[in-house]
Amino acid sequence: MSVGELKMDHRDHHLRKISIWLAVISTVLAVTLPIVPIALLLGWFTTDLLDLASRAGLSVGHAPNQLLSFIAGLLSLVPVLCLSKALWFARQYFLLIQSGILLSRANVIALKGFGKFVAISGAAGLVLPTLIGLLLTANAGAGEKSLVVSLGSAPLLSLLFGGTLWTMAAVTAKATAIAEDHAQII
Amino acid sequence: MQILVTLDVMLAKRKIRSKDLAVHIGITEANLSLLKQGKVKGVRFETLAKICEYLDCQPADILTFQRTTDEETL
């Protein structure tokens, strides 16, 4: 525990209550979110790739390269894995609040990690569909290559939310420094 | 540091133990020890008033300003 850590008093009981619930929700989501995409991916790896490509809307005359498909499959997991990691940081943050620690370096690290991975997940959601499309049609013949451009509100909001969290972490870092200074006044 | 804390001198003059003063002010002995060593960034007026009340002295009796030369500050 560092000097100046701001702890809560008995009046902050409701904050503890909300934090423990948010920590539980974050933990459940962090663990369960990657399960479905990983299961789907395992299913795809055992599916005929030509069929997979046609289902994905890619007009490919022949099956995509096995290795490239594998890489594309792994890349498609990046956004959800980043989101899972972000939720794990969120869990740490809420657990700190629940244990009564409001301002400390650990809070800053957890909030910064939360924001960073939400932003990475958003950025990956914007870039990866294009990259995956290119990978899957890399070996396709002339006129069969596809360029997928995905621009949804979800990844953009994730980027914005991640940036907001990052800013909040920076403000928390400043507040922690002030609290540390304040603790040295007797 | 330019402000010297001479609280230990005053405690010795009044023959009062640090423990008793800490109890009266309502701070821990560890914090009082830091204050005596001048290892704090500041003292609240409230704390200062309680110290002066208990030791029956003035703030100037426990805090002294020491002018430092340029060479010392460098």
Q: Which of B56, B63, B14, B58 is nearest to B38 (CA)?
A: B63
CB B28 within 8 A of CB B47: no
Q: Which of A57, A79, A64, A68 is nearest to A127 (CA)?
A: A79
Q: How far is B42 from chain A (nearest CA, A)?
A: 4
For residue A114, what pLDDT is reported?
A: 96
Domain residue limits, chain A? 6-183
Cα(A145)–Cα(A165) distance, rounded to whole angstroms?
Answer: 39
Range of the domain at B41: 3-73
Residues written for chain A: 186
pLDDT in tens, B20-74: 999 999 999 999 999 999 889 899 999 999 999 999 999 999 999 988 776 555 5
Of A181, A184, A186, Cβ closest to residue B27: A186
Q: Which of A29, A129, A132 is nearest to A88 (CA)?
A: A29
| Residues of chain A with C-beta less than 8 angstroms from the C-beta of B27 | 186
pLDDT in tens, A99-123: 988 889 999 999 999 999 999 999 9
For residue B50, what pLDDT is reported?
A: 95
| Residues of chain A with C-beta less than 8 angstroms from the C-beta of B43 | 185-186
Q: How far is A177 from chain B (nearest CA, A)?
A: 13
What is the ipTM score, two decimals?
0.74
Question: Per-residue pLDDT for A157 more than 80?
Answer: yes
CATH assignment of the domain containing B54: 1.10.260.40
**Side chain identity, residue A36:** V
Cα(A20)–Cα(A27) distance, rounded to whole angstroms?
Answer: 11
For residue A4, what pLDDT is reported?
A: 47
Give A72's pLDDT tier (boundaries 50, 70, 90).
confident
A185 touches chain B (CB under 8 A): yes
Residue A108, judged by CB atoms within 10 A of its CB (0-12, 13-18, 19+), counts as: buried
Phi, then psi, of A114 in degrees rounded to 5: -60, -55
Tell me how many domains chain B contains: 1
For residue A51, what pLDDT is reported?
A: 64
Question: Per-residue pLDDT for A61 more than 70?
Answer: no
CB B18 within 8 A of CB B36: yes
**H or E element: which one contains A102?**
strand A101-103
